[in-house]
């Protein structure tokens, strides 16, 4: 049996691994599935069609799997999917997806989500991200692996944030942020490459140099975005094998940017 505090309310149809811990006064709805060794702190509400993986830690007063804050939502059985080894701190709110998108809000693995973070409907967050206090995603936002959002960063609906990007404190983001780029401001602007993050993750000097050159091609060369993409493709064609994946990641992101990129 899962370790459930006597004051907690867990619906008989919820499926909890026997190693799950549920704290005092928490409420678990009927369509919730929770994997091994996940800890649900006190006063947490988990509802909706929500699937949670293993080794997660939810701190007190989180609201997980609530209905979308979207007037079009009409009670469809949309979902929230959370992976493994995530830390979700106090007062976080994660909403279900909507039928107007793919019907899923998702959070990957090994993410650190600090207090008061909001993941709106249909957001897709990758792995190893950090969301500082009060970072807020509107609906349909995609965040790549290893991205960092500083405190009070606010992201407009349908924006994309590339892998290894860094979003500064109090940033108002209304356009896409390419991989590896440091963006901040109100409105947001690009301010270079996330060098410190890349060094911490073991990128080599050659890889960082190639990424910096790609940044200069996009932001400092005076080229249009289409011209910059063509230049990046030429550079990728002659790059060494250890550089190609990072250059291709940047170019592929630019091909799918739907709101324009921060400039």
Q: What string of DSSP letters covers 67-124? A: PPS-TT--S---EEEE-SS-EE-TT-EEE---TTTTSEEEE-SS-EE-TT-EE-TT-E
With tokens 């910059």, the residue in question is: 228
pLDDT digits (tens, 9 = 90+) for 11-66: 999 999 999 999 999 999 999 999 999 999 999 999 999 999 999 999 999 999 99
Percent of the chain with pLDDT over 90: 98
Comma-separated ranges of CATH 2.160.10.10 domains in the chain: 3-140
Which is it for strands 39-40 and 57-58: parallel, antiparallel or unpaired? parallel
Instruction: For residue 47, indicate whether it is catalytic.
Output: no
Average pLDDT over residues 146-167: 98
Average pLDDT over residues 239-248: 93
pLDDT digits (tens, 9 = 90+) for 161-196: 999 999 999 999 999 999 999 999 999 999 999 999
Q: Could you say which of 48, 139, 144, 197 is catalytic? A: 139
Average pLDDT over residues 92-100: 97
CA dist 2 and 224 (Å) reads: 58
Backbone angles phi, psi at 137, to 5 degrees: -110, 130
CA dist 60 and 92 (Å) reads: 9
Q: What is the mean pLDDT of the chain?
A: 97
CA dist 64 and 44 (Å) reads: 8
Instruction: For residue 121, indicate whether it is catalytic.
Output: yes
pLDDT band at 1 (very low <50, low <70, confident <90, very high): low
Does 3.30.465 match the CATH number of domain 198-256? no
Average pLDDT over residues 219-242: 93
Q: Could you say which of 47, 70, 101, 122 is catalytic? A: 122
Q: Could you say which of 49, 118, 121, 142 is catalytic? A: 121
CATH superfamily of 3-140: Hexapeptide repeat proteins (2.160.10.10)
Average pLDDT over residues 63-72: 97
Q: At what angle do helices 205-219 and 244-256 cross, to 10 degrees?
A: 30
CA dist 133 and 105 (Å) reads: 20
Please give the DSSP secondary-structure letter assigned to residue 68: P
With tokens 């979003």, the residue in question is: 167
Comma-separated ranges of CATH 1.20.1180 domains in the chain: 198-256
Q: At what angle do helices 225-238 and 205-219 cross, to 10 degrees?
A: 150
CB atoms within 10 A of CB 180: 29
Instruction: For residue 240, indicate whether it is catalytic.
Output: no
Nearest Cα residue to 95 out of 78, 110, 112: 78
pTM of the full structure? 0.96
CA dist 140 and 68 (Å) reads: 11
Res 112 pLDDT > 90:
yes
CB atoms within 10 A of CB 250: 25
pLDDT digits (tens, 9 = 90+) for 195-229: 999 999 999 999 999 999 999 999 999 999 999 99
pLDDT at position 2 is 78
Burial of 107 (0-12, 13-18, 19+ CB in 10 A): buried
Nearest Cα residue to 126 out of 112, 101, 141, 146: 146
Res 91 pLDDT > 90:
yes
- Residue 50's H or E segment, with its range, is strand 49-52
Average pLDDT over residues 232-242: 92
């Amino acid at each position: 049996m899962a370790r459930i505090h006597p004051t907690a309310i867990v619906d008989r149809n919820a499926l909890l691994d026997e190693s799950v811990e549920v704290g005092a006064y928490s409420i678990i709805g009927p369509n919730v599935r929770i994997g091994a060794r996940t800890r649900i702190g006190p006063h947490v509400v988990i509802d909706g069609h929500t699937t949670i993986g293993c080794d997660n830690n939810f701190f007190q007063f989180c609201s997980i799997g609530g209905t979308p804050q979207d007037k079009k939502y009409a009670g469809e059985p949309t979902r929230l999917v959370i992976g493994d080894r995530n830390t979700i701190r106090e007062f976080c709110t994660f909403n279900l997806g909507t039928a107007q998108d793919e019907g899923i809000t998702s959070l990957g693995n090994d993410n650190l989500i600090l207090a008061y973070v909001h993941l709106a409907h249909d957001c897709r967050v990758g792995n190893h991200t950090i969301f500082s206090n009060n970072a807020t995603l509107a609906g349909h936002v995609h965040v790549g692996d290893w991205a960092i959002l500083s405190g009070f960063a606010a992201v407009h609906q349908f924006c994309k944030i590339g892998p290894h990007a860094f979003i500064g404190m109090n940033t108002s983001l209304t356009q896409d942020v390419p991989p590896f780029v440091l963006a901040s401001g109100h409105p947001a602007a690009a301010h270079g490459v996330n060098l410190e993050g890349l060094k911490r993750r073991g990128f080599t000097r050659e890889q960082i140099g190639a990424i910096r050159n790609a940044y200069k091609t996009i932001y400092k060369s005076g080229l249009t975005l289409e011209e910059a993409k063509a230049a990046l493709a030429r550079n990728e064609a002659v790059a060494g094998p250890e550089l190609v994946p990072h250059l291709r990641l940047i170019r592929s992101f630019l091909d799918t940017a739907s709101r324009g990129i921060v400039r």
